[in-house]
Amino acid sequence: MRDETKCLHSGYTPKNGEPRVMPIVQSTTYVFDSTERIGELFDMPTAHMYSRFSNPTVEVVEKKIADLEGGVGAMCTSAGQAASMISIMNLCKSGDSFVSTSTIYGGTVNLFAVTLKKFGVECIFVDADASEEELMAAIKPNTKAVFGETLANPALAVLDIEKLAKVAHANNIPLIIDNTFATPILCKPFDFGADIVVHSTSKYMDGHALQIGGVIVDSGKFDWTNGKFPEFTEPDESYHGVVYTRDFGAAAYIVKARMQLMRDLGCYPAANSAFLLNLGLETLPIRMKQYCENGLKVAKYFKENDKIESVSYAALEGDKYYELAKKYLPDGVCGVVTIVMKGGKKAALQFMNGLKLASNEVHVADIRTCVLHPASATHRQLTDEQLVAAGINPGLIRFSVGLENVEDILEDIKQSLDKVEI
Ligand SMILES: *Cc1c(COP(=O)(O)O)cnc(C)c1O
């Protein structure tokens, strides 16, 4: 099946007389006819036992997203943040480190630099545009993973995934990619060597600003038996001696994430949320196509306006990431356009406050056009140095182009820009 078909059919095939759409299975638990059967399930989780870590409605979405990314399995989480956290905690324990590019979502910077540090896990930040040699030099003997974002939020830098995969694999560690902005419709990181993909499904996948969510997808390709990951190859005493690589083969990573971390943390989405997420996924391919079309028109409009200092949109010829975008995002680079206003923060805020159709909100990648000033919102907690490293200028605006008629979006931009004094 191709993506459009997968979005409609993957994950659920109703049998004779069953509902056309997977129902919302609103139940914390499941009934079995014997204690022996429950005992067997604890040995081999082949059925749903408890909705803290699996549920039939959520499973449909997990299978659909795994299929779209080309992975062997997926696990949904109650937020993108939980997906990023579990993706790392499934590999690192206290005393370990991992490498991350610095041009990533502000919330992830905070999670990695502050919260994981409190757990004794060190994040080594690197410049995504650094050479292979420089990246190699950042990796230490206790480094267990490399992390990056396909399309960095909000700098819109395109990641050279193959370069990072090469560096990670030369060190026998996996590459984790946050593919939120691209979605599997625009880029499939596994095709370029990534081993694990995470998403905030709160953005384009849900698409309608309905519910927060995340997902982790396992490519099934990484060799966990290479000696660096004893937790995968030695018995897990917290789970009556399971050996993940022996018992679950290619799905070792995602099963371990569910049976250890989701079991203990419980940040699993509700069935109702997964049902809504599934609705969003059904139309993802056609929506992404339109976002890319609208995004490019808006980016071009900004580019020609003399009140705008710079536009970051990798599908624009001349953009710093144009060549990388041609390789990794040949069908378009989503609907998020980043601009820097002349006149800095003051002009940026004046432009944003003057918009009538586009709304000011803490969101991005929504079906409705919205804008955000990262330096005073999502990235507020970062120091000036971190802001620069994350590619954020005080006059920078993240303009998330929606699916309104693009002429209405352009007219709104025009009327507000006309009023900005520089
Ligand atoms: C929003 C976002 C996250 C965090 O996801 P939540 O669902 O808000 O927890 C992570 N990565 C990227 C790229 C994001 O845009």
Q: Which CATH number characterizes residue 143's domain?
A: 3.40.640.10
Q: For residues 253 and 336, state if they share a domain.
A: no
Residue 245 domain-assigned (yes or no): yes
The CATH number given to whatever domain includes residue 317 is 3.90.1150.10
Determine the residue of 77, 81, 109 to mutate for testing ligand 1's pocket, defined as the one with the most ligand atoms within 8 A of the Cβ atom. 81
231 and 206 within one domain: yes
The two structure tokens encoding residue 294: 């609208």
Distance CA 288, CA 166 (A): 29
For residue 213, give the ligand 1 atom closest to its CA.
7
Pocket of ligand 1 (CB under 6 A): 79-81, 105, 107-108, 149, 153, 178, 180-181, 200, 202-203, 212, 214
Atom 2 of ligand 1: nearest residue by CA position:
200
| 336 domain-assigned | yes
Q: How many domains does the chain have?
A: 2
Within-domain flag for 242: yes
Alpha helices by DSSP H, listed for 215-343, are 230-233, 244-248, 252-256, 263-265, 271-282, 284-303, 322-328
The single-letter code of the amino acid at 271 is A
Domain shared by 254 and 319, yes or no = no
Domain finish residue from 279, 303, 323: 279
For residue 48, the model assigns a pLDDT of 95
Q: What is the CA radius of gyration of the chain?
A: 22
Residue-level pLDDT at 388: 78
Q: How far is the CA of 209 from the centre of ligand 1 (A)?
A: 13
What is the number of residues in the chain? 422
Best of 87, 179, 203, 364 for a ligand 1 pocket test (most atoms within 8 Å of beta carbon): 203
Say how far apart CA 157 and CA 150 lie, in whole Å: 8
Answer whether residue 405 is part of any domain. yes
Do residues 12 and 65 both lie within one domain? Answer: yes
Q: Of 217, 244, 279, which marks where a domain is finished?
A: 279
> Tokens for 232?
């995968």
Distance 357 CA to ligand 1 centre (A): 24
147 part of a folded domain = yes
CB atoms closer than 10 angstroms to residue 380: 11
- One domain for residues 250 and 115: yes
pLDDT along the chain (422 residues), means of 10: 98 97 96 93 88 97 98 98 98 98 92 98 97 97 98 90 98 98 98 98 96 98 98 94 96 97 97 98 98 98 96 96 98 97 91 96 93 85 77 88 98 97 88
- The torsion of the CA quartet 56, 62, 64, 69, rounded to 10 degrees, works out to -170
Q: Are residues 268 and 370 in the same domain?
A: no
Looking at the structure, tell me whether residues 232 and 315 fall in a common domain.
Answer: no
Last residue of some domain: 279, 296, 327?
279
- Predicted TM-score (pTM) of this structure: 0.96
Q: What is the DSSP letter of 50?
A: B
> Do 250 and 386 fall into the same domain?
no
CA of 390 to the centre of ligand 1 (A): 15
In a domain, 422, yes or no: no
Helix, strand or coil, per DSSP, at residue 315? coil
Range of the domain at 409: 285-417
In angstroms, the CA 87 to CA 91 distance is 7
3-class DSSP assignment, residue 214:
strand
Residue appearing with tokens 């196509």: 289
Ligand 1 nearest atom to the CA of residue 84, by list position: 10
Residues 191, 318 within the same domain: no
Distance 117 CA to ligand 1 centre (A): 20
